[in-house]
Amino acid sequence: MAPLKNLETEYPIIDSNFQNFCASHGIFSVEDFLIHDLYMLAAFAEQNVSSERLKEGITQILSIIDDMHQPWLNGMELLEDAKRNKHFLPTGIQGVDLLLGGGIRVGQLTELVGPSASGKTQVCLQTASNVARNYMMLYLDTGNSFSPQRIAYFLGKTNELASAQAKNQILQKVMSNILCHSVFDIFAMFDVLHQLESNLRCQERGGGCRIRLLIVDSISLLIAPVLGGTSTRGRALMASAGYLLKKLAHQHNLAVLVINHTVGSEGGTSKPALGDSWKSIPHSRLLLSCDRGSNVYNVSILKHPSMVINPT
């Protein structure tokens, strides 16, 4: 769903006055309306000198949301949809692919969780190098962690027997298939994701090479700064981000891979950052860790839609 400012041309009632009113309540896009108390919003509108136009704008947004609802599907239709549209993108890391039953699931949001230096970015980079052999992908870099040198290293390891010319051709193809954007706040990410959504619609209509993988390294660096305090705006932005990522995955047959950090909890243990509100958003969660003594990296499944995970 688009930012409100993109709707003004088609819906004049959603003018700058309406947009400013919504922004004052932490609403910047259509999906933000889904997680707000609309009765309270209407009550605030009543107190405004432009109350009638504001209420008309709210009604227009609700109409837009209603038009975008997907038709209900029965169990057999959902099963056929899963068989037809959803498959895996191998990461190129044998242990991870084996654990996930083939790789990262297309149409779903997969999260990598782990402390600093546990290998999260390395998994993302190796996955990018493997997927970009055949598909285009988008890498959102939030902390200057994207490394073309590491991409080249991973490609070199998997093509050791190839000729120098063949290696160079593979490298050029992979690098040209990776689109990298630096985003340093959640609003910049929303702008990129909405542009991606528009591009994906155009690609589906016109054919050609399509983006099949989206990586956000890392989502917690974008969301954590807007959380905290008594305001609900941060949680609303977090929910909007999760909703948009899952929507892109499902509607455009995209695999989404995001990184999350860990934070300290009671008893000296660690847990995924962003709290309980976020943990229900990813379809799958992988926990990465590293034994400093042996330099052995470990990965385990915290959550998976088709697996029963025993609680620890």
Place of tokens 């998997």: 158
Predicted TM-score (pTM) of this structure: 0.75
Strand, coil or helix: what is 212? strand
72 by DSSP, 3-state: which?
coil
Residues 98 and 123 placed together within one structural domain of the fold: yes
Residue 50 sits in the same domain as residue 105 = no
Q: Looking at residue 207, what is its pLDDT?
A: 65
Q: What is the pLDDT at residue 272? A: 92
Closest CA to 54 of 79, 18, 87: 18
User: Quick one: 58 and 180 in the same domain?
Assistant: no
Examine the fold and report which residue of 25, 46, 68 is the final residue of a domain before the chain moves on. Answer: 68
Residues 253 and 191 in one domain: yes
Residue 17: domain span: 4-68
Per-residue pLDDT of the chain (312 residues; tens, 9 = 90+): 568 888 888 889 999 999 999 888 888 887 777 667 666 788 888 888 888 899 888 888 877 776 655 556 667 766 676 665 568 999 999 999 999 989 999 999 999 999 998 999 999 999 999 999 999 999 999 999 999 999 999 998 888 778 888 889 999 999 999 999 999 999 999 999 989 988 888 877 776 668 999 999 999 999 999 887 766 778 888 888 898 899 899 888 899 999 999 998 777 788 999 988 898 899 999 999 988 788 888 999 998 887 766 555
Same domain, 93 and 63: no
Q: Which of 37, 68, 99 is the last residue of a domain?
A: 68
In-domain check, residue 74: no
Whether 19 and 113 map to the same domain: the answer is no
Same domain, 179 and 280: yes
Q: What is the per-residue burial (b if ≥16 Cβ within 10 Å, else e) of 115-150?
A: eeebbbbbbbbbbbbbbbeeebbbbbbbeebbeeeb
Confirm whether 309 is domain-assigned. no
Query: Is the domain of 288 the same as that of 195?
Result: yes
Residues 77, 69: Cα–Cα separation, whole Å: 17
What's the CA gap between 119 and 146, in Å, rounded? 13
pLDDT in the model for residue 68: 59
Tokens 């038009």, located at residue: 67
Residues 266, 157 share a domain = yes
Shortest CA distance to 106 belongs to which of 208, 211, 213, 193?
213
The verdict on residue 310 lying in a domain is no
Domain-located, residue 150: yes
How far, in Å, CA of 299 to CA of 311, rounded?
A: 16
Q: Output the pLDDT for position 35.
A: 67
Which pLDDT score, from 0 to 100, does residue 101 have? Answer: 87
DSSP class of residue 3?
B
| Contact (Cβ atoms closer than 8 angstroms) between residue 92 and residue 213 | no
Q: Please indicate, yes or no, if residue 73 is contained in any of the structural domains.
A: no
| Same-domain pairing of 64 and 86 | no
β-bridge partners, 256: 109, 214
12 found inside a domain: yes
The CATH code of the domain that includes 188 is: 3.40.50.300
Residues 122 and 222 in one domain: yes
- Residue where a domain stops, chosen among 68, 99, 120: 68
Q: Has residue 36 been placed in a domain?
A: yes
- 75 lies in some domain: no
My answer on whether 62 and 139 are in the same domain is: no
Looking at the 3D structure of the chain, how many domains does it have?
2
How many Cα atoms sit within 13 Å of 198 on the Cβ side? 9
